[in-house]
Amino acid sequence: MSSILTNNGAMVALQTLKSVNSNLTDTQSQISTGKEIGSAKDNSAIWAISKVMESDVVGFKAVSKSLAVGESTLGVASAGAESIVETLKEMEALAVAGGSETADFTKIQADMTQKVAQISDTIAASQFNGVNLLSTAGAGLTVVSSVNRVGAAAATTDTITVANQDFEAGIDTAGMTAITDAATAATAFGEIQAMMATALTGAATIGAAASRVSDQNDFVGKLSDSLKSGIGALVDADMEATSARLQALQTQQQLGVQALSIANQAPQTILSLFR
């Protein structure tokens, strides 16, 4: 049955054209943004997962900065501790030289005094942003090392803590025996040996902590990159497939316009019935 009031063909063509135009708009949006899922309406579940992962990436970026500061702090402390070890080695050599009765004890003690002052200066200067792991007044170091998430539970953070090594108290150069003869030189040598043991232990502790912080920073960087890759796999558009879909939709749009035009002309054929 033909009707001039109801054009079923035109309605079908119009609905088809609307659907094609809607798909074309979505495809053009994917090409312009590079994302297949750009908002919650595109796919609410995947969008929510991607946003949680993005928040973790932001958290890991902050963790990386914290680890970098911690690594620098430990690097300064480690350099100071190693410098003190080298100074103590030189002091040992002076004490050994003082073991001979023919030694110039006055010059040896003068050199020893300068070495003691050098150790004090090194301890005082071994600070980064106000944190000094070698000074008695200095506190320990706590560095945020990770952001952890298990299931639907809230995210938590882990930390790396490095205790203050207190070289000021452990290396008591102020109370060291002055070298005035072979006997006092032997006594001073024993005292320096004890201080050397303390310095080596402290330097090793700081060095081990610095290595851990450095390794953790490398791991966090790789983990952050993996998360970014995972987010991309979830929400990024496949540009090759999207480009091909755009070409197909543009063709469908042109055909839909022609189909609608043909359907709109159909009622005119009714005129031929009245000729």
Q: Which fold has domain 58-236?
A: f41 fragment of flagellin, N-terminal domain (1.20.1330)
Listed residue (163, 181, 168, 199) closest to 89, CA to CA: 199
pLDDT exceeds 90 at position 75 = yes
What CA–CA distances, in Å, run from 220 to 58, 154, 156, 217?
12, 19, 15, 5
192: pLDDT confidence band, cut at 50, 70 and 90? Answer: very high
As a whole number of angstroms, the distance between CA 105 and CA 173 comes to: 18
Across the chain, mean pLDDT equals: 90
275: pLDDT confidence band, cut at 50, 70 and 90? Answer: low
What is the tally of helices (H) and strands (E) in the chain?
6, 2
According to DSSP, the β-strands at 141-148 and 156-162 are: antiparallel
So what's the pLDDT on residue 2? 67
pLDDT (average), residues 245-262: 89
DSSP 87-151: HHHHHHHHHHHTTSTTS-HHHHHHHHHHHHHHHHHHHHH--BTTB-SSSTT---EEEEEEEE--T
Summarize pLDDT for 229-245 with one digit per residue, the tens: 999 999 988 888 989 99
What CA–CA distances, in Å, run from 265 to 5, 180, 262, 271?
13, 121, 5, 11
83: pLDDT confidence band, cut at 50, 70 and 90? Answer: very high
Backbone φ and ψ of 7, nearest 5°: -110, 90
Return the C-alpha torsion angle 118, 122, 125, 127, nearest 10. -170
136: pLDDT confidence band, cut at 50, 70 and 90? Answer: confident
DSSP, res 6? -
The DSSP element (H or E) to which 21 belongs, if any, is helix 8-33
Lowest mean pLDDT among 1-10, 39-48, 223-232, 244-253: 1-10
The domain spans of the chain are 1-34+237-275, 58-236
